[in-house]
Structure 1
Amino acid sequence: MRGLIENIAAALARHGLILRGGFNFADGEEATPGLSGVVAKSVLLVGQAGAAPWPHFLRWREGQPQAIANPLDTWSRQAIGAVAETFGARAVSPSDRPYLPFQQWAMRAEGLRPSPLGILMHPEYGLWHAYRGALLFEDEISVQSAEAAIHLCDACVEKPCMKSCPVDSYSAEGFDYRSCLAHVRGPNGEPCRSEGCLDRNACPYGTAYRYPAEVQAFHMAAFAGL
């Protein structure tokens, strides 16, 4: 008989989603309320590797109004929310307000560290993964603690991810989103608009999971408000 984690993973897989690790909150740790309002004791991160959810999202999108705002967020909320309801959890999203500490949760759940682009570097998926939500439980569940993952950026000498942007939006000081937006929205915004961020695509790791150009264009359009 399968356990809770395996059953949740199987339910998420029907949407192209995967479990991205989890943990139990420590006693006295400030945590987010669960389904009934009681402070949650456990969290499971939900996300994707590569573009596996994309076909599921497109099928859902066909039945929605074209003018729907933030369609991928909406689909993610519905898909993860349905799984949460089945297993008595509260579903939360990275876009919820006030913002929840998803980046910290993700690093804790999988032992990952940020790349120079700010995206967490995964030892298998590289930069081609995402977190779509989380499941909060009011009871402790059996979750295997994550060990620190190999940080591939430490072994990358050339750092092509810092050298490919035509307007040098990424630097040691951080991400200059204003210059990125101006470029993507401007007359010289190709191929960024149609093929995605050149810095991200320059990363040599996880290329088997790289999002197709269609998916990257979708995300770039959402980022730039196009």
Structure 2
Amino acid sequence: MDIRTATRFGKRLWTGGFLAFGGFHPEPADSVPDLECGRPARTLLVIGNAGAAMWTAFQQAPEARDGVADPLDRYTRRVLLEVAHEFSLGALFPFDGAPWFPFAEWARKAGGFSPSPMGLLAHHRYGPWAGFRAAFISTDRSGTFAAQALPGPCTSCTKKPCITTCPAGALSLSGYDVPLCRGYLAANPDASCHRGCLARRACPVGTDFNQPDEMAAFHMRAFLG
């Protein structure tokens, strides 16, 4: 992509509430599939969202009101397939089921991310509010990806307020106890956690990209099934 095309690409993503976190040039160990044409992928871009932009765009979309299951996933697929087609890219989605793609590994290779006690990756700019929505792949080798040299924020965080804030005690240096979290939420239907994870909100990184309450509650309902 030349600069003009890259600028148009970024604006097109942002119209739907999405952004590119970065990318890399795949190697065989990265488990990146070939494109539908059978040619190998030479560039991968990690596509996602942060903050309220995607939720705002989704709320205006037909998927938000049609009453069919998985509205946000369907919105994501429709919009990002349109972008992929416009720029002659392949698209892979984390919610497609088998085959399972290693999105977390791809994001870490793209740079700027680190594992967090919350069981998700935190971004050096967006903190724990970076969500992975797709990966775009191309037969062209393009981009220099300076972000690959950037570390994520959790490795240098000493206070770790995410751990101390969790009312369920589900977070520790050993990791995230999902059953304990679910059990606390089930036993406490009025807990403020139902309107968004308090541990995520306690993270000092990326506070400008905190999810709106309605969006956070939507994801919490999805988490609880």
CA drift at 1:192: 0.8
For 2:180 and 2:173, locate their aligned partners in 1 and report how far apart those are by CA, in whole Å.
15
CA drift at 1:22: 1.0
- Contact 1:31 1:41 survives alignment (8 Å): no
2:207 corresponds to which letter in structure 1?
Answer: T
1:39 corresponds to which letter in structure 2?
Answer: P
* TM-score (norm: length of structure 2): 0.89
Aligned match of 2:59: 58
For 2:34 and 2:154, locate their aligned partners in 1 and report how far apart those are by CA, in whole Å.
35
**After superposition, what is the alpha-carbon deviation per residue over 1:114-137, rounded to whole angstroms, capped at 9, x for unaligned?**
122132222222112212111111
For 1:37 and 1:220, locate their aligned partners in 2 and report how far apart those are by CA, in whole Å.
39
For 2:156 and 2:162, locate their aligned partners in 1 and report how far apart those are by CA, in whole Å.
13
For 2:45 and 2:63, locate their aligned partners in 1 and report how far apart those are by CA, in whole Å.
29
Task: Between 115-124 and 76-85, report the one with greater CA deviation.
Answer: 115-124
Unmatched 5+ stretches in structure 2: none
Aligned match of 2:75: 75
- Counterpart check, 1:120 vs 2:109: no
CA drift at 1:9: 1.1
1:182 corresponds to which letter in structure 2?
Answer: G
Q: CA RMSD in A?
A: 2.1
CA drift at 1:56: 0.7
- What SS class does the counterpart of residue 53 from structure 1 fall into? helix
Aligned match of 1:162: 163
- What SS class does the counterpart of residue 81 from structure 2 fall into? helix
CA drift at 1:222: 0.6
For 2:84 and 2:71, locate their aligned partners in 1 and report how far apart those are by CA, in whole Å.
20
**% identical equivalent positions:** 35
Aligned match of 2:207: 207
- What SS class does the counterpart of residue 55 from structure 1 fall into? helix
Structure number with higher helix proportion = 2
1:45 corresponds to which letter in structure 2?
Answer: V
Question: Compared with structure 1, are the counterparts of its residues 25 and 159 closer, same or farther at alpha carbon in structure 2 (3 Å cutoff)?
Answer: same
Question: Compared with structure 1, are the counterparts of its residues 126 and 138 closer, same or farther at alpha carbon in structure 2 (3 Å cutoff)?
Answer: same
For 2:140 and 2:148, locate their aligned partners in 1 and report how far apart those are by CA, in whole Å.
23
CA drift at 1:61: 4.2
CA drift at 1:24: 1.3
1:85 corresponds to which letter in structure 2?
Answer: H
Question: Compared with structure 1, are the counterparts of its residues 31 and 170 closer, same or farther at alpha carbon in structure 2 (3 Å cutoff)?
Answer: same
**1:1-226 matched pairs, under 5 angstroms:** 2-26=3-27, 30-61=31-62, 64-66=65-67, 68-96=68-96, 97-194=98-195, 196-225=196-225
Question: Compared with structure 1, are the counterparts of its residues 61 and 172 closer, same or farther at alpha carbon in structure 2 (3 Å cutoff)?
Answer: farther
Unmatched 5+ stretches in structure 1: none
- What SS class does the counterpart of residue 44 from structure 2 fall into? strand
- Contact 1:108 1:146 survives alignment (8 Å): no
- Contact 1:160 1:202 survives alignment (8 Å): yes
- What SS class does the counterpart of residue 163 from structure 1 fall into? helix
* TM-score (norm: length of structure 1): 0.89
**After superposition, what is the alpha-carbon deviation per residue over 1:46-77, rounded to whole angstroms, capped at 9, x for unaligned?**
111212111110111466421x2221111111
For 2:18 and 2:220, locate their aligned partners in 1 and report how far apart those are by CA, in whole Å.
21
Task: Between 21-30 and 201-210, report the one with greater CA deviation.
Answer: 21-30
For 2:85 and 2:148, locate their aligned partners in 1 and report how far apart those are by CA, in whole Å.
30
CA drift at 1:145: 4.1
4+ residue segments displaced more than 6 Å: none
